[in-house]
C-alpha cells in the first residue's frame, strides 16, 4: 500500500537542536544500514538526516530496498547489515512484518536490529508482535524528528554492538571448549604444539604461527636451553625441531625470546607473542594475525591460553608416562612394547624391501657376571651408540637385556652389514671388549599380519641361529614355524600320554660272550600313542629334554627299573641287572643322587643290580659336578657304565676319574668291524677297558661274524638284534625263561 499523499516528510527537518548532538571521531570502518520504504523520498530524507552521524567511531553505509521482497533478498546477500529502518505498509499492509519474520525465523538473525516506521498509525503492530520478533523500536513517521531518529539509530546500533560482543564471546568460548576437547586427545608434545596452532586458527585467523619452547627432553639431540620450533602453521619452510635462530626474520626471533624471558604477552600491529606457563613448563606462541587483535580477541586468547597452558603441562606428563611405558630406561631406545607397535607398522607397510630383525649379544651374561652390571650397562650404551650410525635408515629398539630389535631396508638389515658393527671392540669404562652377536631376520614377504606375530617369527629365526654352529644368523621361513608348532604339539601330547601311562619300558637283553647267558638288559623308553602307534625315541627323547619333562620321566624310569629288578628276583633271575640311561638335565638336579638312592631303598633292591648309563656329552657340561655325583652313587654300590664311548670329546683325564664299571662300544664302531682296517677303534676301546679293569660291552651286533671278532678281542658282553630286539616286560621275562 502506497503512503498517503498527505504524509509530510518534513518532520525529519524539524529543528530540535536544543538537544545535545552525538558527535564522535570516525574511523575507516562503517555500520551497514538497510533503509526499506516504498517511497523514494523517505530514503533521501533519512539518509540526509543521518549524513553526518558517527556511532561508536564508525559512519553509516546505506543499502536501499523499496519493497519487502527486495529487503529479504538484500538481507540474505549482506550478512554485515546491522540495522534495518523498515516501513510497515508497502506492497501489502503487513509487508514490513513479513520482512521481520523472515529475518528472525528464516534467517535466524537475532542480532540484527529492526526499527519499524509507518506513516499510518492505524497499521501499528500488536505489542506481542514487537516482543516476539525483538523489534528494537516502533515509530510513526510524524514523531521522528531528526534528533529522535539519530537517537533511535544510535541506540539500535549500540544494542547490536553489545549483542555482537556477547555472541562473539559465546562463539569464541564454544571454539575454546571444542579446541580443548580436541587437544586432550593429543599425548605427545609435538602433536600438542601442532594442535594448539590448528585449533587457534578458527579463533584468531593468522597468516602464520609458531609454537616454541626449550628443546631439551623434547627434541632428540637437544642438550642445551635454546628455544626450538615444536610446531608451525602457514610457513613456507619446515622449521620443526630446529632452533628459532634458523628463522629468517631476526625481529621474530627477538620477539619470541623477549616474550619468553619477560614472561608476558607482547602485542603490536604486525605480530603477537603469547606466553604460556604451567607447572614449570613454558612456551611461546608466535602469531602473525590477518588483522590487529581486538579487545574481544585478546580476551578470548587469554581464556584459550589458560586452557592450553594446563594442557601443555598435562601433555608433558603424558609423554613422561609414555616414555616410561614405551622407552627403554637405559638406552632411551623404544622398548619391547613399542617395538611391537613398530612391527605393526612394518606388517602393514607395502615396501617389500623392508626386513625386521633381532640382534642378540653373545655371552653377555658372562660380562655382567664377571665385570659387573655397571660395566655391562656401559657396554649396552656403547652398542647402542654404534648402532645409531646406521639409524637414518633403520629403527632400533631394546627388547631384552642383551637383545636389540631392528627394522630397515635389506641393504642395511642383513648379516654382513650388522656383523660389521661388531668387528671392532666396544668401549665400556676403561675396558675394550670384543663381542659378537647372533641375528634373526624376517623379510617383509614372510611377515605375519601383526607386530606380535612378526616378533614371534623373528624369535624363531634367532633361536635356530643360536643353535646353529655353522652360521650366526637365520631368516624366518614358514616351515620353521610349522616345525616349532609340531614340536609344541608333540610336547603337549607327550605330557598328556605320560600322565595317562602310555610310556613303557622295553628291555634289550645283554649277554656274556663267554657263556651266552643273559647278564642284564638295557631299559629303553617306548611311547605308544592312543591310536596304538609308536613314536621313535629319537624324536621324543630330545623333546622331553627340551621341555624339562625328562626329569619326571627319568624318575619314573628309575622306579620302573627297580620294580623290574624286584620282579626278576621273584622269578629267580637274581643275576640279571637293568641298565638305565641318564640325561644331562637329570644330572643338573640338586637332589639327583638322593633321588636315585631313595628309589633303590624304596623298592629294596640290591644297588649293583641297577646300572646307570651316561654318555660322554654329560662330561662336557660341568664335568667335576658329574664326577662327584657318580662317586657318591658308586659309593652306594650302584654300577656305572659309559655309553657311546669314542663318539664324544671327553678328556681321558676325566675318564680316569670316573668310577666306571663298564665301557660300551658304540654300534657305529661295530657296524664295519669285520671289514679289514675298520675294527681299529672298537679293538682299541676293548683293549683300553681291559687295561682299566673295566668290563666292555659292544652293542649293535647283527651277525655271527661280528660276534666272532668280538670274541677274538675278548670283549665281555654284547647286545644287538642278532640276539634279541627290545621287548616289553612280559616278553623279556619269557625270553629269560627260554634261555636259562
In this prediction, residue 446 carries a pLDDT of 92
What value does the mean pLDDT take over residues 717-736? 95
pLDDT at 470: 80
Angstrom CA distances, 312 to 225, 255, 288, 691, stand at 18, 21, 22, 86
For every residue of 90-107, DSSP letters joined together read SSSTTHHHHHHHIIIIIS
- Which cell is 457 given? 617369527
Residue 165: predicted pLDDT: 63
Look at residue 46 in the predicted model and tell me its pLDDT.
Answer: 84
HSE at residue 569, side-chain half, CA atoms within 13 A, is 14
Q: DSSP label at 53?
A: -
* Residue 318 pLDDT class (50, 70, 90 cuts): confident
Average pLDDT rounded to a whole number, residues 333-361: 94
Beta strands in 163-217 (DSSP E): 206-214
Give residue 20's pLDDT band: very low, low, confident or very high (50, 70, 90). very low
- Give the model's pLDDT for residue 397: 95
Task: Look at residue 21 and tell me whether its pLDDT is greater than 70.
Answer: no
DSSP, res 608:
G
Tally of residues, the chain: 740
Q: Is the pLDDT confidence value at 256 over 60?
A: yes
3-state secondary structure 629-654: HHHHHHHCCCEEEEEEECCCCCCHHH
- Domains along the chain with CATH numbers: 9-168 (3.40.50.2300), 187-325 (3.30.450.40), 336-476 (3.30.70.270), 500-665+724-738 (3.20.20.450)
Question: Would you say 733 and 528 are in contact if contact means Cβ atoms under 8 Å apart?
Answer: no
Name the DSSP class of 123. Answer: G
Instruction: Using the predicted structure, report yes or no on whether residue 176 has a pLDDT greater than 70.
Output: no
End-to-end CA distance of the chain: 142
Q: Which of 25-34, 287-296, 722-731 has the lowest mean pLDDT?
A: 25-34
Range with the poorest average pLDDT among 117-131, 243-257, 681-695: 117-131
Alpha-carbon torsion, ordered 457, 458, 461, 464, to 10 deg: -100
Q: Which long-range contacts (CB under 8 A, 24 or more apart) does 414-421 make?
A: 414/355, 414/441, 415/439, 415/441, 415/472, 415/473, 417/390, 418/357, 418/359, 419/472, 421/383, 421/386, 421/387, 421/389, 421/390
Assign 453 a pLDDT band (cuts: 50, 70, 90): very high
pLDDT at residue 476, rounded to an integer:
93
437, pLDDT greater than 50: yes
Where does 391-477 have alpha helices with state H? 415-420, 451-467
Predicted pLDDT at 731: 95
Q: Which of 709, 702, 644, 714 is nearest to 676 (CA)?
A: 709
Q: How far apart are CA 38 and CA 3, in angstroms?
A: 8
Q: How confident is the model at residue 198, as a pLDDT?
A: 80
Joined grid coordinates for residue 561: 627299573
DSSP string, 486-532: HHHHHHHHHHHHHHTT-EEEEEEEEEETTT--EEEEEEEEEEE-TTS
Would you say the C-alpha torsion 496, 497, 500, 505 has a positive or negative sign? Answer: negative
Give the model's pLDDT for residue 5: 36
pLDDT in tens, 89-113: 888 888 888 888 888 888 888 778 8
Closest by CA to 84, choosing from 187, 160, 186, is 160
Query: What pLDDT score was predicted for residue 469?
Result: 77
Say whether 274 sits in a helix, a strand or coil. strand
Residue 144 has pLDDT above 80, yes or no: no
**Whole-angstrom Cα distance, residue 519 to residue 496?**
35
pLDDT tier for residue 87 given thresholds of 50, 70 and 90: confident
The H or E element containing residue 556 is helix 550-570
The answer to whether 353 and 431 are in contact (CB under 8 A) is no
b (16+ CB within 10 A) / e for 721-730: eebbebbebe
User: CB atoms < 10 A from the CB of 321, how many?
Assistant: 11
Reply yes or no on whether the pLDDT at 172 is more than 70.
no
Which pLDDT tens digit goes with each residue over 536-595? 999 999 999 888 899 999 999 999 999 999 999 999 999 999 999 998 888 888 889 999
Residue 613 predicted with pLDDT over 50: yes
The H or E element that residue 189 is part of is helix 189-200
Give rounded-to-5 percent helix, strand, coil for the chain: 45, 20, 30
- pLDDT tier for residue 120 given thresholds of 50, 70 and 90: low
Residue 705 has a pLDDT of 94
User: Quick check: 648 and 620 in contact, CB under 8 A?
Assistant: yes
> What does the pLDDT read at residue 141?
66
Q: Look at the alpha carbons of 581, 586, 588, 591 in this order and tell me if their dihedral is positive or negative.
A: negative
Residue 74 has a pLDDT of 92
Residue 376, helix vs strand vs coil:
helix
pLDDT over threshold 80, residue 2: no
**pLDDT-wise least confident of 3-17, 607-621, 702-716:** 3-17
Please answer whether residues 587 and 618 qualify as being in contact, where contact means their C-beta atoms are separated by less than 8 angstroms: yes
**Residue 554 has what pLDDT?**
93
Q: Residue 441: which pLDDT band, with cuts at 50, 70 and 90?
A: very high
Cα–Cα distance for residue pair 386/400, rounded to 1 Å: 18
Please tell me the distance from the alpha carbon of residue 205 to that of residue 288, in angstroms, as a whole number.
9
Q: Is the per-residue pLDDT at 173 higher than 90?
A: no
In this prediction, residues 381-408 reach a mean pLDDT of 90
pLDDT over threshold 70, residue 661: yes
The secondary structure of 651-690, three-state, reads CHHHHHHCCCCEEEECHHHHCCCCCCCCCHHHHHHHHHHH
Q: Determine contact, residues 522/508, Cβ cutoff 8 Å.
A: yes
Which residues are within 8 A (CB) of 513 and not within 5 positions of it... i.e. 6 or more apart? Answer: 707, 710, 711, 715, 716, 717, 718
- Which pLDDT score is estimated for 536? 92
Question: Which H or E element spans position 433?
Answer: strand 431-433
Q: Is the pLDDT of residue 23 over 60?
A: no
Element (H, E) at 308: helix 295-326
Residue 8: pLDDT band with limits 50, 70, 90: very low
pLDDT class of 650 with cuts at 50, 70, 90: low
Question: Looking at residue 717, what is its pLDDT?
Answer: 96
Q: What pLDDT is stored for residue 13 in this prediction?
A: 45
pLDDT at 223 over 50: yes
Q: Are 615 and 644 in contact (CB under 8 A)?
A: yes
Whether the per-residue pLDDT at 259 is higher than 50: the answer is yes
Residue 523 pLDDT level (bands cut at 50, 70, 90) = very high
The secondary structure of residue 446, as a DSSP letter, is G
Phi, psi of 14 (to 5 degrees): -65, 135
Residue 219 has pLDDT above 70, yes or no: yes
The dihedral built from the CA positions of residue 95, 100, 101 and 102, taken in this order, carries a sign that is positive
Q: In what order do the strands lie in the sheet with 354-361?
A: 395-398, 403-409, 354-361, 437-443, 473-475
Scored b (16 or more CB within 10 A) or e, 35-55 reads: bbbbbeebbebbeebbeebbb
Identify the band that residue 142 occupies on the pLDDT scale cut at 50, 70 and 90.
low
Q: Could you tell me the pLDDT band of residue 4, with boundaries at 50, 70 and 90? A: very low
Nearest in space to 704 (alpha carbons), one of 723, 686, 687: 723
pLDDT for residue 10: 47
Alpha-carbon distance of 569 to 566, in angstroms, equals: 5
Which pLDDT tens digit goes with each residue over 280-303? 889 999 998 888 877 777 877 777
Residue 113 CB partners (closer than 8 Å, separation 6+): 82, 83, 84, 136, 156, 157, 159, 160
Q: Determine the pLDDT at residue 651.
A: 56
The pLDDT, as a whole number, for residue 19 is 43
Give the chain's mean pLDDT: 84
Amino acid at each position: 500500500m502506497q503512503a498517503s499523499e498527505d504524509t509530510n516528510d518534513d518532520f525529519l527537518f524539524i529543528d530540535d537542536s536544543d538537544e545535545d548532538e552525538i558527535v564522535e571521531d570516525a574511523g575507516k570502518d562503517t555500520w551497514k544500514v538497510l533503509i526499506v520504504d516504498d517511497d523514494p523520498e523517505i530514503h533521501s530524507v533519512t539518509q540526509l538526516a543521518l549524513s553526518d552521524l558517527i556511532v561508536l567511531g564508525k559512519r553509516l553505509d546505506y543499502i536501499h530496498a523499496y519493497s519487502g521482497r527486495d529487503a529479504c533478498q538484500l538481507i540474505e546477500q549482506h550478512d554485515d547489515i546491522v540495522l534495518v529502518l523498515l516501513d510497515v505498509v508497502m506492497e501489502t499492509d503487513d509487508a514490513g512484518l513479513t520482512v521481520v519474520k523472515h529475518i528472525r525465523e528464516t534467517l535466524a538473525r537475532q542480532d540484527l536490529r529492526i526499527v519499524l516506521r509507518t506513516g499510518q498509525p492505524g497499521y501499528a503492530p500488536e505489542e506481542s508482535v514487537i516482543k516476539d520478533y525483538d523489534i528494537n523500536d516502533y515509530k510513526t513517521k510524524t514523531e521522528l524528528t531528526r534528533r529522535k531518529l539519530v537517537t533511535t539509530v544510535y541506540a539500535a546500533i549500540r544494542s547490536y554492538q553489545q549483542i555482537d560482543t556477547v555472541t562473539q564471546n559465546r562463539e569464541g568460548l564454544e571454539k575454546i571448549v571444542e579446541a580443548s576437547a580436541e587437544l586432550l586427545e593429543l599425548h605427545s608434545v609435538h602433536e600438542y604444539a601442532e594442535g594448539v596452532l590448528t585449533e587457534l586458527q578458527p579463533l584468531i585467523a593468522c597468516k602464520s604461527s609458531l609454537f616454541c619452547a626449550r628443546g631439551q627432553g623434547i627434541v632428540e639431540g637437544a642438550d642445551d636451553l635454546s628455544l626450538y620450533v615444536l610446531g608451525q602453521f602457514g610457513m613456507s619452510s619446515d622449521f620443526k625441531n630446529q632452533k628459532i635462530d634458523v628463522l629468517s626474520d631476526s625481529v621474530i626471533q627477538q620477539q619470541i625470546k623477549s616474550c619468553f624471558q619477560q614472561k608476558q604477552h607482547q602485542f603490536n600491529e604486525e605480530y603477537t607473542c603469547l606466553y604460556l606457563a604451567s607447572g614449570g613448563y613454558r612456551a611461546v606462541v608466535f602469531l602473525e594475525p590477518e588483522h590487529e587483535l581486538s579487545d574481544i580477541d585478546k580476551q578470548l586468547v587469554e581464556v584459550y591460553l589458560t586452557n592450553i597452558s594446563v594442557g601443555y603441562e598435562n601433555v608433558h606428563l603424558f609423554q613422561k608416562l609414555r616414555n616410561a611405558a614405551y622407552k627403554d630406561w637405559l638406552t632411551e631406545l623404544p622398548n619391547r612394547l613399542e617395538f611391537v607397535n613398530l612391527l605393526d607398522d612394518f606388517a602393514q607397510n607395502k615396501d617389500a624391501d623392508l626386513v625386521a630383525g633381532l640382534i642378540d649379544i653373545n655371552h653377555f651374561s658372562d660380562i655382567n657376571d664377571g665385570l659387573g652390571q655397571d660395566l655391562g650397562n656401559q657396554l649396552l650404551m656403547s652398542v647402542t651408540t654404534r648402532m645409531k650410525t646406521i639409524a637414518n635408515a633403520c629403527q632400533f629398539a631394546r627388547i631384552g637385556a642383551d637383545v636389540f630389535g631392528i627394522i630397515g631396508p635389506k641393504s642395511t638389515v642383513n648379516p654382513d652389514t650388522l656383523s660389521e658393527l661388531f668387528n671392532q671392540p666396544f668401549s665400556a669404562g676403561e675396558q675394550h671388549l670384543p663381542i659378537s652377536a647372533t641375528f634373526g631376520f624376517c623379510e617383509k614377504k614372510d611377515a605375519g599380519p601383526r607386530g606380535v606375530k612378526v616378533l614371534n617369527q623373528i624369535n624363531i629365526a634367532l633361536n635356530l641361529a643360536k643353535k646353529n654352529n655353522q652360521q650366526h644368523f637365520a631368516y624366518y621361513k614358514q616351515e620353521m614355524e610349522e616345525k616349532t608348532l609340531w614340536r609344541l604339539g608333540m610336547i603337549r601330547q607327550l605330557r598328556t600320554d605320560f600322565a595317562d601311562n602310555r610310556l613303557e619300558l622295553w628291555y634289550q637283553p645283554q649277554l656274556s660272550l663267554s657263556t651266552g647267558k643273559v647278564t642284564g638288559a638295557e631299559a629303553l623308553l617306548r611311547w605308544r600313542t592312543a591310536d596304538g602307534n609308536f613314536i621313535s625315541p629319537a624324536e621324543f627323547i630330545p623333546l622331553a629334554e627340551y621341555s624339562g619333562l625328562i626329569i619326571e620321566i627319568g624318575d619314573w624310569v628309575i622306579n620302573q627299573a627297580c620294580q623290574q629288578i624286584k620282579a626278576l628276583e621273584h622269578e629267580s633271575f637274581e643275576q640279571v641287572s637293568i641298565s638305565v640311561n641318564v640325561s644331562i638335565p637329570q644330572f643338573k638336579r640338586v637332589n639327583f643322587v638322593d633321588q636315585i638312592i631313595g628309589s633303590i631303598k624304596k623298592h629294596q633292591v640290591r644297588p649293583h643290580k641297577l646300572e646307570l648309563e651316561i654318555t660322554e656329552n654329560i662330561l662336557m657340561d660341568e664335568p667335576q659336578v658329574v664326577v662327584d655325583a657318580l662317586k657318591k652313587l658308586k659309593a652306594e654300590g650302584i654300577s656305572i657304565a659309559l655309553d657311546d664311548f669314542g663318539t664324544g670329546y671327553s678328556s681321558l683325564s676325566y675318564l680316569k676319574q670316573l668310577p666306571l664299571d663298564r665301557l660300551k662300544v658304540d654300534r657305529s664302531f661295530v657296524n664295519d668291524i669285520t671289514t679289514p682296517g675298520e675294527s681299529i677303534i672298537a679293538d682299541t676301546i676293548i683293549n683300553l677297558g681291559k687295561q682299566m679293569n673295566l668290563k666292555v660291552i659292544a652293542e649293535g651286533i647283527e651277525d655271527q661274524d661280528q660276534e666272532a671278532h668280538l670274541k677274538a678281542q675278548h670283549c665281555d658282553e654284547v647286545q644287538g638284534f642278532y640276539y634279541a630286539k627290545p621287548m616289553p616286560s612280559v616278553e623279556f621275562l619269557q625270553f629269560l625263561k627260554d634261555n636259562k
